[in-house]
Amino acid sequence: MSDTQWTRYYVFKKDTEKTPFESCGTVHAPDAELALQNARDVFVRRPNCLELWAVPADQVYTWSGDEVGALLESSMGFEDEGEVYHVFLKERRKTQHLLAGSVRGVTPEHALRAALKAFFSAEIGVWRLVPERAVLRSERSEQPSWFGPAYDKLYRQPNFYHTDSLMREIRRRRGESKPDED
Amino acid sequence: MEAKTQTQDSADEARLAEFQARIDRGEKIEPGDWMPPTYRRQLVRMISQHAHSEIVGMLPEGGWITRAPSLRRKLVLLAKVQDEAGHGEYLYHAAETLGATREEMIDDLLSGKAKYSNIFNYPALTWADIAIIGYFVDGAAIVNQTMLSRCSYGPYARANIRISAEESFHMQQGKEMVIKMAMGEQELKALVQDAINRWWWPTLMMFGLPDAESPNSPALIRWGIKTKTNDELRQLFVTRTVDELHDLGLTVPDPDLRYDEESGDWISGPIDWDEFWRVVNGDGPCNRERMAARRKAHDDGQWVREALEAYAQREGNGSSL
C-alpha cells in the first residue's frame, strides 16, 4: 500500500429532508470512519447537510445507459429478492447522480435488473448501485455537532460582502463630483 | 494486416463520430464511456494542473494567516485557504476517474515534473497583496471555472460547479478589501495600487498563451472541454476589471491600454511572454520556495499518515475491506 493513495470511498450526501441523496464524489482514507470525516471536511464546509454516507469504491457498481439497454427486456419479469441496493441515476445531459429509490438483489447484476424494472428511462446515462450493507453513515443524532458549525460561518457566503452596493455608492459619488456636462 | 488496420480505423472513426454526436447533443461523457485517447490525455493534463494550482495556491496566502490585521480578516482567510485544499481534493478525484492516481499526481508535483499555475510563483509582499489575490487571481479563476462548469466531461464539470459556487466568496472578500483600501487614506490607496502594479500582468498570463500560439484550443473547444478561447476569457476579465478599477480611482500598469468604442472593451498592450516562460521554467521569484514548502508539508505529514494506517490495520477495518 502506497503512502498517500489509500482506499477510495464514494461519498453520498443528503442536504435537506426534501432533497434526495446525491453521489457527490470520492475521498481517500485508511478506513471507513476516517472516510466519513474526510467527506465532511471536503464536501460539507458550508450548510446544508443532514446525512453523509461513505462506501468503499469496490462496493459501488456503475453501468452506463448504453450498457444496460440490452438487459431491459429480460429484466421485466424479474423478482425482487436478496439484499437491499440503493439506486442512483444520472440523466445524460445533467451532472447530478440522485437517489431514485431502493431495490433488492441477490447479486449486483440481479439488483441492476430490479432497478431497470423499476426506474428505466432511455434518458438515464449512468446507473449506480450501492449495497446497503457497505454503507457507513453519519448519525442523525450527531447532525448538530457534525454539520452545525458550518451555519455560523456566514463569511463563507459571497453575499456576506456588500461589494455591489459599495461600488454603486462609489459610482454615484463620482458622478456627483464630475463637472456638469450640459 | 493492412485490411485489419483499415477495419480498425473505420471502427475508430465510427466511435469518434458517435462520441462527437453525444457532445453536440449536450450529453456529459462519464468515466466508463468510450473517449478518444487525446480527450483523456488533455483532461488529465488540465485537471491535474488545476488540482496542483489549488494546493500550491494555499502557500502565498497561508503565510499571511498569522499576520491578518483583524480577527474577522483572519477567519475569512483561514476559511478561504481551507477551501483551496478542498478544491484540490475535488480535482485530484476528478482526474482519478480517468485512470491517473492521486499518488502519481502528487509525486509529479513534488518532483517538479508537473506544473501548477504560474501566478503562485510570485510573492505576496503586503496585506494589500492578499486583497488583490482575491480580487484578481480568484476573479480570473472564476472566469475560467464558470466556463469549465459546462465541460463535456461529467466529473470535471461537477468539480467546477462546486468550486465556482465556493470561489465567489474568495473574490468578493478580496474585492471588498480593495474597495475599502481605495476609499481609505492616501497611504492605503498607494499600497493597493502597488499590489495592482505587481499582480496585473501575471494575472493576465493566467489565461494561457494567445489563441494563435495555443495548439490544443480547437480540439478542446470541439470536444466541449472548453467553450471559450484563452483570449476570449482574458478579454472578459480585462474589461470587467478595468472598469471597476477606474471607478475606484485606481489604474492598471499598461501604457498601451485603450478603449475600443465599437466593442466596448478595454484592449491591453502586449503581454511579456518571455517573462512567462522564464517563470514557468523555474526562474520566478518564488518557484524554489513554493516547492520547498510543499515538500516540507508532505514530509511533515508522514507520521500522521503512518499513524492513521497503523490504527486502521489494528482495528481491522483498513483498506483490505
ipTM summary value: 0.92
B151 interface with A at CB cutoff 8 Å = no
CA distance linking residue B88 with residue B292, whole number of Å: 19
Q: How far is B220 from chain A (nearest CA, A)?
A: 19
Min Cα–Cα distance to chain B from A78, Å: 26
Residues 114-143 of B with CB under 8 A from A: none
pLDDT band at B2 (very low <50, low <70, confident <90, very high): low
pLDDT tens-digit series, residues A34-80:
999 999 999 999 988 999 999 999 999 999 999 998 888 887 777 78
| Beta carbons of B26 and A93 less than 8 angstroms apart | yes
Tell whether B30 lies on the interface with A, counting CB pairs under 8 A.
yes
Considering only the beta carbons, identify the residue of A125, A160, A174 that sits closest to B247.
Answer: A174
User: Is the pLDDT assigned to residue B305 strictly greater than 60?
Assistant: yes
Which tens digit of pLDDT belongs to each residue from B176-185?
999 999 999 9
By the CB < 8 Å criterion, does A165 face chain B?
no
pLDDT the model gives residue B57: 97
Interface of B with A in 234-273 (CB under 8 A): 244, 247-248
Q: How far is CA A2 from the centre of its chain?
A: 28
pLDDT for A182 beyond 80: no
Q: Is the pLDDT of residue A166 over 70?
A: yes
Q: Which of A4, A67, A68, A164 to mutate to test the interface with B (most CBs of B within 10 A)?
A: A4
| DSSP helix/strand/coil, A4 | coil
- Interface contacts (A, B; CB < 8 Å): 134
Residues B226, B208: Cα–Cα separation, whole Å: 13
Condensed to tens digits (0 to 9), the pLDDT of residues A101-142 reads 999 999 999 999 999 999 999 999 999 999 999 999 999 898
Report pTM: 0.94
What pLDDT, on a 0 to 100 scale, did the predictor assign at position B320? 44
Q: Which residues of B touch A32 (CB under 8 A)?
A: 317, 321
Helix, strand, coil in percent for chain A, rounding step 5? 40, 30, 30
**What confidence category does residue B101 fall into, taking pLDDT thresholds of 50, 70 and 90?**
very high
Cis peptide before B281 (omega within 30 of 0): no
Decide if B143 contacts B233 (C-beta within 8 A): yes
In angstroms, the CA A149 to CA A153 distance is 7
Q: How far apart are the first and last CA of chain B?
A: 46
What are the beta bridge partners of residue A129?
Answer: A61, A87
Cis bond before residue B144 (omega within 30° of 0): no
| pLDDT of amino acid B10 | 83
Q: What Å distances lie between residue B236 and B46, B119, B273, CA to CA?
A: 21, 19, 20
The residues in B 164-183 lying below 8 A from A, measured between CB atoms, are 166, 168-169, 171-173, 175-176, 179-180, 183
Q: Which cell numbers in the block locate residue B46? A: 488540465
Query: pLDDT tens digits for B133-178?
Result: 999 999 999 999 999 999 999 999 999 999 999 999 999 999 999 9
Collect all residues of chain A within an 8 Å Cβ-Cβ radius of residue B317: 31-33
Put simply, whether B28 touches A (Cβ < 8 Å) is: yes
Q: Judge: B89–A32 Cβ closer than 8 Å, yes or no.
A: no
Are the CB atoms for A31 and B315 separated by under 8 Å?
Answer: yes
Mean pLDDT of B214-235: 95
Helix (H) or strand (E) holding A14: strand A7-14
91-150 of A, contacting B, C-beta below 8 A: 92-96, 125-126
Statement: residue B29 has pLDDT above 80:
yes
Percentage of chain B modeled with pLDDT above 70: 97
